A and B are shown apart, each in its own frame.
Chain A
Amino acid sequence: MAKKPTFSKEIANLLYASHGNPIVSCIQCGTCSGTCPVAEYMDHSPRRLIAMINADLKEEVLESNTFWFCASCYHCTVRCPSGIDIAELMYAVKRYSIWKHQYKEGLVGPVFSETFVKTIFRSGRSYEPILAPSYIFSRGVRKMFEEAHTATNLMLKGRIPVLPSRIERIENLQRVIGRIIPTGGSS
């Protein structure tokens, strides 16, 4: 009976499509974490996250906010001396965490992604009004006013869509999605 794959093996399998070297070739040099523009907001730097993945520390990895703070700007990927696609790795860990519904308390990222996917499934195009405000409410009153202020300014300039725009062949798109994920989309 095949051995149950370790956590690092699972992540490595998720990376099969990415075209960089496997994460085991990381020499822990820290270029990625030195380059990352949002490193100071992460509880573990991308370098340390790779070390934790290679060490199969699944709980700690899924509990960290590192991969949710990744802006996918790929600066680490182009500079990594071992040729690892680190931004792609962050995507892979996000996918793993969303599939397992296992992520840090109070993070906006996962909820945002799931809502985004639902909007696309429903109308084929993203619709800012649904995406933005529903998360700001969860972060305290003062932030809510600031966001409302920005939103009204944009509304005045006619830059906020009133009706969500739908594509014509939305049923076809939903069937296309159905052929990829048989459970009738991730709604």
Chain B
Amino acid sequence: MSEKVGVYICHCGTNIAKTVDVEDVAVWAGDQPDVEIARDYKFMCSSLGQDLIEEDIKEKGLTRVVVAACSPHMHEKTFRTACERGGLNPFLFEMVNVREHNSWTTDDREAATKKAKALVNGAVERVIYHQELEMMPLEINPNTLVVGGGIAGISASLELADAGYHVYLVEREPSIGGHMAQLDKTFPTLDCSACILTPRMVEVGQHPNITLLTWSEVENVEGYLGNFTVTVRKKARYINEEHCTGCGICIEKCPFKVTDDVFEAGLSTRKVIYRPFPQAVPKYPVIDTENCVYFLRGKCKACQIFCPTEPNSIDFEQQDEFLNIDVGNIILATGYDLFDVSKIPQYGYGRLANVFTSLEFERLVNAAGPTSGNIVLRDMETPPDKVAIVHCVGSRDENYHKYCSKVCCMYSLKFAHLVHERLPDAEVYNCYIDMRTPGKGYEEFYNRLLEEGTHFIRGKVADITDSARTDEEEGKLIVQVNDTLIDKQRRIPVDMVILSPAMEARYDSRKITQLFRMGCDFDGFFVERHPKLDPVATMTEGIYIAGACQGPKDIPDSVSQGAAAAARVAGLIARGTVYIEPVRASIIEEQCSGCRICNNLCPYNAIIFNEDKEVSEIITALCQGCGTCVAACPSAAITGAHFTNDQLMSQIEGILWDVGKGLESIKKVESVAEIGD
């Protein structure tokens, strides 16, 4: 099987040429069998380099091309298009990685050149067995699934819906809004969080292109880019959404209250049938079955009795629904959790009443909160006259989270401002390690706080205790901190302490990554395709991420990531069809013995058994081309396009050419043998 192979070795400036003797490799490659022409060139990926390939294909009638340069993840596409322009099927091409895997990893010029020759030889042997393949068209379903109804999810959904595409927005809580709905003001503009959020939520609620599925979770995801089938469990609200007008009488009449640990962060109560907050979207309440007397002991039904609608909207027999949704792309915007501050016992949260977390303080200071905006201590009456705000609780700490959570400095400044505003003669102490104000108008906000007379202490708080040593400390919380700028250990007596905890990945983020088959890092945040150039895409085609689920970030970044993910998806939908690698498996019917070993091997259930023909068959559309079945087939009846057994076997032979035939390596072997025996 003789082919005319063109071999091109790239200098890549000095990146390769510095350690690999490219001329020698080119000359050596020139006189290998099947090699028609072998050249070395300064920059193969430059247009001149590509023209070299084009002209050689046309003039020399090359039938195969091998380029030894950087990683295929960098320029495989460039050289494939060059082959195509030369009239050669792009898959009759093989790339050899002699830069990342070779020249950059050693200074040993002789070893690097020897390795380069071996890899090139392997590629030449392999490329001879390459077959012509065509890119596979894939229809993109225009619907999109957005998981998570926080500000990032809302932005993504609105962008796509306004672009005219249909969006399914799935939210685990009874209402969308996420953590932002709990905040009072936002930095640095001090806009009221609800004022800027609720209009967006209403827009989502009323948008014809958005199907809102709250109090729902994704149970299962099948399929691939363009054709995902998602099973969503719509948990029973025990409210009939068609009839309910959202009047709220049922909430009023419900005689039972429970502490609201989710929305009110445990600071106040909610009824057993409840809406998380007045501006909730959708407006339908939901029954908390764990505490509802009817579900526990079968009595009460007060909500049903007082419900004014005809027919009655309360439906105790309602069951969870399972919906199957077909979408083309998925955007994950699942948000974050707050670090559990009780993990740092020396800060006394839980033991000392007046130590609050930032979320608790947000609810305290919120006009719609339990104290309608009055900053008071845990007894819900006495306002504090001295407040300490502790930065970096659980962040920048090897024992908890090594990373900086990016937003705590700014919202701690916001808290200081709110205390000054509500309690003009209160003293505020912010204990920080570094004041990080990297955004637009952020540093100015910090200056504003300095002018407002906040005491900034540069030092991380060591511990918070109520065991006083002097009368002045009696009955107060004492914040012990080393003020590093004056190198004094200070004990500051205060009435209230606010802890700014780290932003953590969701507790179940690992489960989500398995569900959607993409990756998460050691801390549990989702892994983007490229940290700098591709932050909203993931390694899995068709799955995009936005907001705090990808890493700690503030609202403006979450909104822009939401919009970015939406733009990526909109781009795919607009193209309608996407061409993907033809790397797929296929079964040669005659050779298949029907042993069915491959049937349960495929994670995508792409292999089915044809009963009458008694052979297995592969649904090419479902196959992702991993090749596991190809390797498992005992009678080699399954072949994997572009990674066939012949191709790989010949590549193995090729890269070990110098061991099999080459003399000097055997000489080396003999000399060792003598010493050895």
Interface residues in chain A, defined as those with a beta carbon under 8 Å from any beta carbon in chain B: 21, 27-36, 39-40, 44-45, 47-48, 79-83
CA distance A36 to B484 in the complex (A): 13
CA distance A165 to B399 in the complex (A): 45
Q: What's the minimum C-beta distance from B346 to chain A, rounded to whole angstroms?
A: 7
Which of A32, A34, A45, A47 has most B Cβ within 10 Å?
Answer: A34
Pair B487/A35 contact, Cβ less than 8 Å:
no
Q: What's the minimum C-beta distance from A151 to chain B, rounded to whole angstroms?
A: 29
Of B397, B399, B433, B489, the residue contacting A33 (CB under 8 A) is B489
Of B396, B458, B481, B487, the residue contacting A81 (CB under 8 A) is B396
Within B474-500, which residues are at the interface with A (CB < 8 Å)? 480-484, 487, 489
B363, CB-defined interface residue at 8 Å:
no
B262, CB-defined interface residue at 8 Å:
no
Within B395-422, which residues are at the interface with A (CB < 8 Å)? 396-399
Q: List, in ascending order, chain A residues with CB within 8 A of B399's CB.
A: 79, 81, 83
Pair A34/B487 contact, Cβ less than 8 Å:
no
CA distance A34 to B463 in the complex (A): 8
Interface footprint category on B:
20 to 34
The number of inter-chain residue pairs (CB within 8 angstroms) is 69
With known contacts A27-B433, A34-B461, A47–B484 Cβ distance under 8 A: yes
Q: What's the minimum C-beta distance from A60 to chain B, rounded to whole angstroms?
A: 13
Pair A27/B489 contact, Cβ less than 8 Å:
no
Q: What's the minimum C-beta distance from A48 to chain B, rounded to whole angstroms?
A: 5
Pair A83/B398 contact, Cβ less than 8 Å:
yes
Which of A30, A35, A81 has most B Cβ within 10 Å?
Answer: A30
Q: List, in ascending order, chain B residues with CB within 8 A of A48's CB.
A: 484, 487
Nearest B residue (CB) for A45: B487
Q: List, in ascending order, chain B residues with CB within 8 A of A83's CB.
A: 398-399
Q: List, in ascending order, chain A residues with CB within 8 A of B398's CB.
A: 21, 80-83
CA distance A79 to B398 in the complex (A): 9
Pair B482/A33 contact, Cβ less than 8 Å:
yes
B542, CB-defined interface residue at 8 Å:
no
With known contacts A27-B433, A28-B484, A29-B433, A34–B489 Cβ distance under 8 A: yes
Q: What's the minimum C-beta distance from A35 to chain B, rounded to whole angstroms?
A: 4
Pair A31/B489 contact, Cβ less than 8 Å:
no
Nearest A residue (CB) for B432: A29
Of A27, A28, A79, the residue contacting B462 (CB under 8 A) is A79
With known contacts A31-B462, A34-B460, A34-B481, A39–B489 Cβ distance under 8 A: yes
Pair A45/B489 contact, Cβ less than 8 Å:
yes
Pair B484/A27 contact, Cβ less than 8 Å:
no
Nearest B residue (CB) for A40: B489
Of A30, A80, A82, the residue contacting B482 (CB under 8 A) is A30
Q: List, in ascending order, chain B residues with CB within 8 A of A27's CB.
A: 396, 433
With known contacts A29-B460, A34-B459, A34-B489, A39–B482 Cβ distance under 8 A: yes
CA distance A29 to B396 in the complex (A): 10
Pair A30/B346 contact, Cβ less than 8 Å:
no
Nearest B residue (CB) for A34: B462
Pair B484/A30 contact, Cβ less than 8 Å:
yes
Q: List, in ascending order, chain A residues with CB within 8 A of B460's CB.
A: 29-31, 34, 81
Q: List, in ascending order, chain A residues with CB within 8 A of B459's CB.
A: 29-30, 33-34
User: Other CB < 8 Å A-B pairs besides A34-B462, A48-B487, 4 of them?
Assistant: A27-B396, A30-B460, A33-B462, A34-B480
Q: List, in ascending order, chain B residues with CB within 8 A of A80's CB.
A: 398
Q: List, in ascending order, chain B residues with CB within 8 A of A79's CB.
A: 346, 399, 462
Q: List, in ascending order, chain B residues with CB within 8 A of A31's CB.
A: 460, 462, 482
Nearest A residue (CB) for B458: A30
Q: List, in ascending order, chain A residues with CB within 8 A of B346's CB.
A: 79
Q: What's the minimum C-beta distance from A107 to chain B, rounded to whole angstroms?
A: 20
Nearest B residue (CB) for A78: B399
Nearest B residue (CB) for A75: B462
Q: List, in ascending order, chain B residues with CB within 8 A of A45's CB.
A: 482, 484, 487, 489
Of B461, B463, B480, B487, the residue contacting A47 (CB under 8 A) is B487
Pair B481/A30 contact, Cβ less than 8 Å:
yes
Pair A33/B396 contact, Cβ less than 8 Å:
no
With known contacts A27-B396, A40-B489, A33–B463 Cβ distance under 8 A: no
Pair B480/A81 contact, Cβ less than 8 Å:
no
CA distance A19 to B460 in the complex (A): 23
Nearest B residue (CB) for A21: B398
Which of A28, A29, A39 has most B Cβ within 10 Å?
Answer: A29
Pair A33/B487 contact, Cβ less than 8 Å:
yes
CA distance A36 to B487 in the complex (A): 13
Nearest A residue (CB) for B489: A39
With known contacts A39-B482, A81-B399, A82-B398, A44–B487 Cβ distance under 8 A: yes
CA distance A48 to B458 in the complex (A): 13
Q: What's the minimum C-beta distance from B483 to chain A, rounded to whole angstroms?
A: 8
Q: List, in ascending order, chain A residues with CB within 8 A of B463's CB.
A: 34-35
Q: What's the minimum C-beta distance from A43 to chain B, rounded to whole angstroms?
A: 9
Q: List, in ascending order, chain B residues with CB within 8 A of A33's CB.
A: 459, 462, 482, 484, 487, 489
CA distance A36 to B480 in the complex (A): 10
Nearest B residue (CB) for A84: B398
Q: What's the minimum C-beta distance from B397 to chain A, rounded to whole angstroms?
A: 4
